[in-house]
Amino acid sequence: MEPVEEQDVLQQARQLLREAPLIDGHNDFAYILRGWFAGTPQIQEQGRYRSIPIGQTDVERVKKSGLGGQFWSAFVPAPPEEHEPHLRAFLHTVQQIDLIAQVIDSAPDTFEFAYSAKSITRIFGTGKIACLVGIEGLHQIGGSMAALRQLHRLGVRYATLCHDTNNEFADSATAQRARHGGLSPRGSQAIREMNRIGMMIDLSHTSDDCQRQVLALSQSPVIFSHSSCYALRAHPRNVSDDVLALLKKNNGLIMITFLRELSGIDELSSQTASCSTVVDHIEYAARCTGWEHVGVGSDFDGMLEGPTGLDDVTAFPCLIAEMLRRDISRDQMQMVMGGNLLRVLKDVEDHATRQRNDGASVLQDTVLPVWTEAQREMLLAKGAERGLVTSDTSQTV
């Protein structure tokens, strides 16, 4: 039985979770479902995902989590670089988004799709969990900006530039060697298009050079959806102090992850990652950037085991309780829980609105020819009969 004092702290944590939304930046539940039910039709009708014996997430556990919002990752593994463009990855991405939508639709008393910062706030006010989607690597768009725009229309609100390998857009933090020296020219185009449509740019998994280049280029705030601090844990996936300083200037957000290999402390080599060390990373990031630039991105179901005290989604109150023990102010905690993410998302939305109002150009795909020359001539001839074709139009058709 927990001591009375500990019960009181947890009660305070749960009360705070009722007052302000905790918005988790990254959860791979959909990928767990894809593996667990591989080849099985009609997942929704079976409903077996509501309580499953593996992983760190299911519907029943989420109900006990205290979450106010969740970015569900429509993760699809990146094929080898030489297989680009990844058209099959785009198909699988759409399937993953459809699976996420089925889960949301199956529990309307618990979940609701959110498409904006305003809708997150509204949904939280109804007592439900606001659900958004992220993709984990631009390999998932199959090399197509049209696909990126369609994913945004389907509810995807952030895109990680790459995953564990380089792609045509960006270098990965964990690739054996750099391919572009950071961001490719095509990647720079993608950054501008993501700014234009209101898609948050996620720099988790990207190389240091890529991070610096994006932070210099992006006109909207960017996020790290699931990363921690390199100064505390020297892992290539973690974020260096100089990049944190650039993130502050960008008005962006680092969402501290629970991944054991990222959230431990190098100086405490005998101590495994724990709820306490995760909060150490939160406090360190806040010292570097200010509390306005820190959030939470668990990466539950992207790991086999969470840090001590944070093993599945039901443990979020324990994280808030640990922050309460540190005498972090309520205002600071509410910023970390979700206030900062709401601000970044709103800023990204507002910039996209200005871009539309200013008539910013759309980054078009190269469209391959679809007519034969005979079809083209036939259409031109018919247009000429109707008096529609001039010498100018015939050159552009």
Report pLDDT digits (tens) over 172-194.
999 999 999 999 999 999 999 99
* pLDDT at residue number 275: 97
Q: Is 283 a catalytic residue?
A: no
Model confidence pLDDT, tens digit, residues 71-98: 999 999 987 766 656 788 999 999 999 9
What CATH number was assigned to the domain covering residues 4-365?
3.20.20.140
- Assess whether 152 carries a catalytic annotation: no
Using the predicted structure, report yes or no on whether residue 62 has a pLDDT greater than 50. yes
Marked catalytic residue, from 24, 58, 112, 136: 136
Q: Is 226 a catalytic residue?
A: yes
pTM above 0.85, yes or no: yes
Q: Is 45 marked active-site?
A: no
> Under the phi-then-psi rule, with left for phi > 0, alpha for psi from -120 to 50, and beta for the rest, what region is 98?
alpha
For the question of residue 327 being annotated catalytic, the response is no
Give the model confidence (pLDDT) of 202-259 as tens digits: 999 999 999 999 999 999 999 999 999 999 999 999 999 999 999 999 999 999 999 9
257 within 8 A of 263, measured Cβ to Cβ: yes
From the candidates 86, 139, 152, 163, give the one annotated as an active-site residue: 163
Measured CA distances, 96 to 116, 134, 342, 384 (Å): 20, 11, 24, 48
> Phi-psi category of 127—alpha, beta or left, where left has phi over 0 and alpha has psi -120 to 50?
left
Q: What are the respective helix, strand and coil percentages of the chain, to the nearest 5?
A: 50, 15, 35
281 is a catalytic site residue: no
From the list 24, 202, 299, 301, the catalytic residue is: 299
Where do the structural domains in the chain lie, given as residue ranges?
4-365, 367-397
**Residue among 26, 139, 180, 293 flagged as catalytic:** 26
Lowest mean pLDDT segment, chosen from 81-90, 153-162, 211-220, 313-322 = 81-90
